[in-house]
A = this chain, B = another copy of it.
Amino acid sequence: MKHETAPSSTATALTNLERDATKENIVPFWTVVDRAHPNEPQPAVKPFVWKWETLNDLLQRAGELVDTAEGRAERRALSLLNPGLGGRYGTTHTLIAGVQMILPGEIAYAHRHTPDALRFIIEGHGAYTTVEGEKVYVEPGDLVLTPSWLTHDHGNESNESVIWMDALDVPLVNLLDVSFFEQFKGWKQEPKKPTENSLKMYGSGLLSPSWQKPPARESSPLLVYRWGPTLNALRQLADAETSPFDDVALEYRNPFTGGPVMASISCCIQLLRPGVRTSAHRHTSSVVYFVVRGRGHSLINGERFDWKERDFLVLPNWAWHEHANESASEEAILFSVSDGPVFDALGLHREERRGQSLQIS
């Protein structure tokens, strides 16, 4: 039951109330309810394609100019900034992706940080990553994990440059204000384990040492997922079932949980068969794609984005999307990283689907 106040004096009193509240670091909820509770996500992130020519040109110039020796550059890396985020450091609001080059003989020195990180090797042979004393040599197509707070360094023992894609959840970690970073004492770690130890222990995926479980942590015990078995698994799956939204799509798994490879980031490899055009859906997670091979386009909220081998494409959260392989004869393969595990862990995952029948022209 309200007092019978004249509307005008009520309005004045309300204004006064709001003013007085503001002074006390209090805001009346009814003045902010629409801003506080959007009916659905309001992505600031925009879809965008970064062309390989551009990335490679900048990377080669950086190779000439940037020294990774102590005191210079922590890493010779280029990060993809989403044009919708106003200069904030992020390819999406939660993920940062980019490319990195390591020259013959170089060392990218050892450190550790709370963000999860991974690399997908683009070109070059003879580089290695050492994670917590385990050294792994990497080849194009390999996925290499450097999970949260594990010390890692990279080096190139060959005569050619090595280039890879980086992806980290730095923006998420900074939104949550939980960044920790630590330089290793010394430039590089001495291997403490047999080379590629985790691959020898857990690399088959189906069999593992009978006498022990892997270390208990929020990430896969396996540090590298090789390209050969990955491509083989894609070709196998093409003979079984496919997804209307992603065609032949595999998620890299933690073989001890079936879950994502790291706490906040999941990785997928996906093959679009010649002429395939997927159905549209959208989900609360955002995705960064790297085109391993082939050419095609994606429709994102109705807008067309063309891509070809080695381009990068970002898909905003809650954006309708569908993919097309434009070739009638060549397969297209996309590697991608997503923040999906965050939404799953917090019970905030959602998906909407539009049609479910994949078309093959």
Chain A residues with a Cβ under 8 A of chain B: 1-3, 5, 10, 13-14, 17, 20-21, 24-30, 32-33, 35-44, 48, 50, 54-55, 58, 61-62, 64-67, 72-83, 89, 93-94, 96, 98, 100, 103-105, 113-115, 148, 170, 173-182, 194, 197, 199-201, 203-211, 213-214, 217-219, 222, 225, 229-230, 232-234, 236-237, 239-241, 243, 245-246, 249-253, 255-258, 263-264, 268-270, 284, 317-318, 342-343, 345-348, 350
Contacts and interface: CB of A to CB of B under 8 A. Distances in A.
A113 B350 CA distance: 13
Q: Which of A174, A181, A346 has the most CB of B within 10 A?
A: A346
Nearest to A105: B1
Contacts of A209: 237, 241, 243, 249-251
Q: Give the number of times this chain occurs in the complex, counting copies.
A: 4
A61 B229 contact: no
Contacts of A170: 36-37
Nearest to A21: B58
Nearest to A51: B24
A206 B229 contact: yes
Given A36-B79, A200-B237, A256-B258, 12 more contacts: A14-B65, A20-B58, A24-B50, A29-B73, A30-B77, A36-B96, A40-B181, A93-B175, A180-B350, A206-B230, A209-B250, A342-B346
A29 B75 CA distance: 7
Contact of A65 (B17, B103, B234): B17
